[in-house]
A = this chain, B = another copy of it.
């Protein structure tokens, strides 16, 4: 599940978004200079990364996203960015339920599967329960 069209660069944070050239996707969106050590640069490239950062910015805000990443160890930041993008894009598609709609759907699917499993278990037990 990679919803960020960015750099899969791991935990490094001392690189800029566009190979040390132009700004990263976040700084491009924010129209600011992309400094060395930019917290967003390893994860948002200047192409699709800009689109995904726009969603993160709209839902969480650049400042909150930055603070969140700063509190997380560098090697876990890519995962955090992917989940932030996932939540932000889900909220953009469904402003009321966001990604919680996926949780509801999965829970409902789980209940259906559980009911069907209970039924098949009853059939199996009725027919093979006395074989042991």
Residues of chain A whose beta carbon lies under 8 Å from any beta carbon of chain B: 1, 58-61, 63-64, 68, 71-72, 76, 79-80, 83-84, 86-87, 91, 95-100, 102-103, 106-107, 109-110, 113-114, 116-117, 120-121, 123-124, 127
A95 to B102, CA, bound (A): 19
Residue ID in chain B nearest A116 by CB atoms: B117
A86 to B90, CA, bound (A): 14
Q: Which residues of B contact A114 (CB under 8 A)?
A: 113
A109 to B109, CA, bound (A): 10
Q: Which residues of B contact A71 (CB under 8 A)?
A: 95
A114 to B80, CA, bound (A): 29
Closest CB in chain B relative to A129 CB, distance in Å: 13
Q: Which residues of B contact A103 (CB under 8 A)?
A: 99, 102-103, 106
